[in-house]
Chain A
């Protein structure tokens, strides 16, 4: 598994202005290469979501440097941050966050709305993405008519519809039962096998255990960064 860096963090810190001033991250340095599947683990309040916000260009670091898909986000304008999110990143949230008024395919197409693509092209690509998550038969359903597992798969389709360089997921199974959660994780595995670069936050050791690489955070510091030996399947891939 080789590839260029999709993501590079260099001595990144984040302090939330108070009161009280809260230091959420300090001296975080690591990088993620194309095609990697990385788990970020840590106890509650350790700074995982803060890290994901920085890595997802939703926020800027207080210090240090972050390069996402070749774009340094530490210094750019809000508009440019939006552009990086638009072109390079796909988000999956714990609570799905689908838009109620839109059916499944339109929710997925939302992932391309701000890329300025035509409606026809957006819908076509959204249908393809829905197929990838196995939900093409639910394309005209409103989110309220979908099960939790289906909602999360629609959300995953929305995240990957724009072919982002980096797929970010914050506790994607947190609101799902074990069975649906497993199905979602299997979907991530499959996307990984197809070449997607994924960073997945979890505080579930069992979830983390199945990932090829795990970055552990504690009190805002990276305390371990372990890459498991590639499995037989990955070697042959």
Chain B
């Protein structure tokens, strides 16, 4: 008995073989892939948005540096008001490795654009007496006009934060005046938004001398903003409380503003969780859709399976054909989903003015996940197709 040469399918023929069913049922295939596409799209969008946001926060952190500290009055155990001594900033400046310290002290006064605005309308603007070093220690820049100097610190001159200027309807400082508790102050500058200390944006800043003179301000700082040499930040941080208030260091709150930004990077919002869940459910439903369409396809293509077996296909060849087709449906959906997710991420970055970032690993994982889901969905239908007895498959029904 001579041995017969085994049936053989060239790998190069697999792509055409895997697409013959998809090509003849385009609409159905597209709709099937859509289920997977929505799932992958949701996941890619969530990861893309998270990545873009993180990239943005990283960029902000890098721009700001992590060498800044802030000191504020703490909360006393019994709830009484604690204050920082007026000398806090000066004491801190004497510490080694501190490169700058500026105090800001809240002045109880109302800023108005003109006398017609009722006195009760504060517009949410806080008036602060401040050291001249403030600009450098908080990393702020002047958008227009100029910052306070030793001369203007003694005069009724005010610099506005970006939000404060907008609320007062002041676009440029040229020759503008505002009323601070009925006293006219000249606006000499407007700050650009301060990324690390957003609360400063709604502030109005005047010098300590004029604050003491006009408003009898006591000079107890609400905040001292500090810059240090990066290598010594932990050492300085440990010394600050005792330096400011040697008797009751617990009354002093020390924080590192960059920690708050860094924390945002890992925050997973409810929305993210919701979208991830939605994507997972869509993927599951998409996978079931692929399985369903494959089962129907195998039933419809019973004769084709019989003919292929009659032409020499082995069970393995039939299984391979349907498994490849299902995997391809999954992959197609995955690619659509990646495009969809990238588009959503792109839209988000445009609206939020952040830099687009979609790690290649997310794209790869999206495609691979879709492929695996397709393959898993095709496993049972393909096995069913392969199990068909050739004689039964070609029998006319």
Contacts and interface: CB of A to CB of B under 8 A. Distances in A.
A85 B396 CA distance: 19
B267 interface: no
Interface stretch (B94-102, B207-215, B312-320): B312-320
B16 to A, nearest CB: 8
Interface in A82-109: 82-89, 91, 93-95, 97, 99-102
Q: Is chain A's binding surface mostly helix, strand, loop or mixed?
A: mixed
Interface stretch (A115-123, A124-132, A177-185, A209-217): A115-123
A176 to B, nearest CB: 15
B2 interface: yes
B394 interface: yes
Contacts of A200: none
Contact of A86 (B7, B23, B304): B7
A97 B310 CA distance: 11
Contacts of B2: 70-71
A114 B310 contact: no
B394 A97 contact: yes
Q: Is chain B's binding surface mostly helix, strand, loop or mixed?
A: helix
B10 to A, nearest CB: 6
A172 interface: no
Nearest to A99: B304
A85 B312 contact: yes
B391 A58 contact: yes
Given A83-B5, A101-B20, A93 B389 contact: no
A78 B315 contact: yes
- Contact residue range for chain A? 35 or more
Contacts of B314: 78-79, 82, 114
Given A87-B5, A114-B317, A115-B8, A58 B310 contact: yes
A59 interface: yes
A97 B307 contact: yes
B268 interface: no
A53 interface: yes
A59 B392 CA distance: 9
A93 B307 CA distance: 9
Interface of A: 49, 53, 56, 58-59, 70-72, 78-80, 82-89, 91, 93-95, 97, 99-102, 110-111, 113-119, 158
Please list the 4 inter-chain residue pairs (A to B) with the smallest Cβ-Cβ separation, ordered nearest first: A86-B312, A116-B8, A101-B24, A114-B312
